[in-house]
Amino acid sequence: MPWQNNGEGDGPPHSDGDDVPAKPTSNRPVNPWGEGPPRRPMGKPGKQGGDFDDLIRRSQERLKTQFGGGNGGGGGGMGGMDLGDSRWLIWGGGAIAAAWIVLSSFYSVDAQSAAVVQRFGAYVETTGPGVHFKLPWPIDAVELRKVEQINIIDISSSEGANENLMLTGDQNIINLAYTVRWKIRNPENFLYELADPEKTVREVAESAMRAEIARASLNAALGPQRAQIADQVRERMQELLDSYRAGIDVRGVDIKQADPPAAVDGSFKDVSAAQQDAQQYLNRARTYAQALVAKAQGDAAAFDAVYAQYKLAPEVTRKRMYLETMERVLSKVDKTIVDAPGVAPYLPLPEVRRRAAAAAEPAPAQR
Pairing of strands 173-184, 151-155: antiparallel
pLDDT at 341: 65
pLDDT at 234: 94
Q: How many helices (H) and strands (E) does the chain have?
A: 9, 9
Which segments of 147-259 does DSSP mark as H helices, in order?
A: 187-193, 197-213, 218-222, 226-243
pLDDT at 250: 94
pLDDT at 90: 76
pLDDT in tens, 315-358: 888 888 888 888 888 777 766 666 666 655 666 666 777 777 77
- DSSP H/E element including 62: helix 48-66
Kindly tell me if the per-residue pLDDT of 15 is higher than 50.
no
pLDDT in tens, 180-193: 999 999 998 998 88
Angle between helices 197-213 and 226-243 (to 10 degrees): 130
pTM above 0.75, yes or no: no
Lowest mean pLDDT among 45-54, 177-186, 254-263: 45-54
pLDDT at 17: 43
Distance CA 342, CA 168 (A): 90
Q: What is the mean pLDDT of residues 145-169?
A: 82
Instruction: Calculate the average pLDDT of the chain.
Output: 76
> Who wins on pLDDT, 41 or 301?
301
pLDDT in tens, 56-85: 677 667 656 655 544 444 444 444 455 556
pLDDT in tens, 80-134: 455 556 777 777 777 777 777 777 778 888 888 888 888 888 888 888 888 888 8
pLDDT at 338: 62
Q: Which residues pair with 176 in a beta bridge?
A: 258
**Alpha-carbon 262 to chain mean position:** 31
- DSSP H/E element including 116: strand 113-119
pLDDT at 288: 95
